[in-house]
């Protein structure tokens, strides 16, 4: 953070042909010709839920394994990585489940996956608190349904930190369609999509971010490597939300 004219303001990212840096808003020159420098105030940081905020991917894998056993479909960790999508219909199709039996698969999910037993990754609450204290609006864009996640936000101490929320039942289309993320930008009152980050661990998370022209931050997990996430549209990657927040906040206070 910087003090400018007596007011604490976030630093600005600068994009140019030389890459991304941070600049002092008092010295920034938006629209300068030649190297096409453009200063962007990062106003909102939006997050995926499963595998990003909460450590739920092992449980998701076990649940998908149960579904595939029910339908007598092949399944292992490599199939999980290849077919996983936050979009339920998309994932069922990739696994080979007939569309007219998606509801049957959904019932197995409801009986097997226990969201109330999931724990947030270590250090998440503190990392989000520091981002919020730095002046960023924090939000959630998840394919999970409101009735499932809302109680967990309170249970995990994140209810007051994550103020913008878009759930899987809030839009007609799901990830990687950009509509859920665009709705979150509207709720966060972000005028320009490049003024926000979306942080997630799935390839479809990065695809959604790219389609919405939001800067995607890929979180490495059992779903994808850093290279996978970058190829899917991420602008950078990290081993966890906490690692990224530490790095981002350190860069924001340099100088």
Rounded to an integer, what distance in angstroms lies between the CA atom of residue 112 and that of residue 162?
27
**CA nearest to 221, candidates 84, 119, 74:** 84
Kindly tell me the burial class for residue 220, based on how many C-beta atoms sit within 10 Å of its own C-beta (0-12, 13-18, 19 or more).
middle
Q: Is 19 helix (H, G, I), strand (E, B) or coil?
A: strand
Q: Does the annotation mark 246 as catalytic?
A: no
Catalogue the E-assigned strands of 133-210.
Answer: 137-141, 164-166, 196-200
DSSP 176: T
**CA nearest to 49, candidates 64, 59, 39, 36:** 59
| DSSP H helix total and E strand total for the chain | 10, 11
DSSP 99: G
Considering 5, 24, 48, 116, which one is annotated as catalytic?
Answer: 48
Instruction: Give catalytic residue positions.
Output: 48
């Amino acid at each position: 953070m910087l003090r400018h004219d007596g007011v604490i303001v976030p630093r600005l990212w600068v994009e140019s042909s030389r890459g991304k840096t941070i600049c002092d808003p008092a010295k920034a020159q938006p629209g300068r010709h030649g190297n096409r420098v453009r200063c962007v105030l990062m106003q909102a940081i939006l997050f995926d839920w499963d595998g990003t905020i909460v450590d739920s991917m092992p449980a998701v894998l076990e649940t998908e394994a149960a579904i595939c056993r029910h339908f007598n479909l092949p399944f292992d960790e490599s199939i999980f990585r290849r077919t996983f999508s936050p979009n339920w219909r998309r994932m069922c199709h990739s696994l080979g489940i007939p569309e007219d039996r998606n509801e049957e698969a959904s019932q197995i999910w409801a009986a097997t996956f226990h969201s109330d037993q999931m724990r947030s990754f270590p250090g998440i609450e503190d990392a989000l608190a520091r981002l919020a204290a730095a002046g960023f609006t924090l939000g959630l864009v998840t394919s999970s349904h409101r009735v499932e996640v809302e109680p967990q936000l309170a249970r995990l101490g994140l209810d007051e930190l994550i103020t913008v929320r878009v759930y899987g039942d809030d839009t007609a289309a799901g990830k990687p369609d950009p509509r859920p993320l665009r709705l979150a930008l509207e709720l966060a009152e972000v005028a320009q999509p490049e003024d926000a980050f979306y942080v997630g661990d799935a390839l479809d998370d990065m695809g959604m971010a790219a389609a919405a022209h939001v800067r995607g931050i890929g979180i490495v997990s059992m779903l994808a490597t850093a290279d996978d996430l970058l190829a899917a549209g991420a602008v950078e990657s990290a081993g966890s939300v906490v690692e990224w927040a530490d790095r981002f906040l350190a860069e924001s206070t340099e100088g």
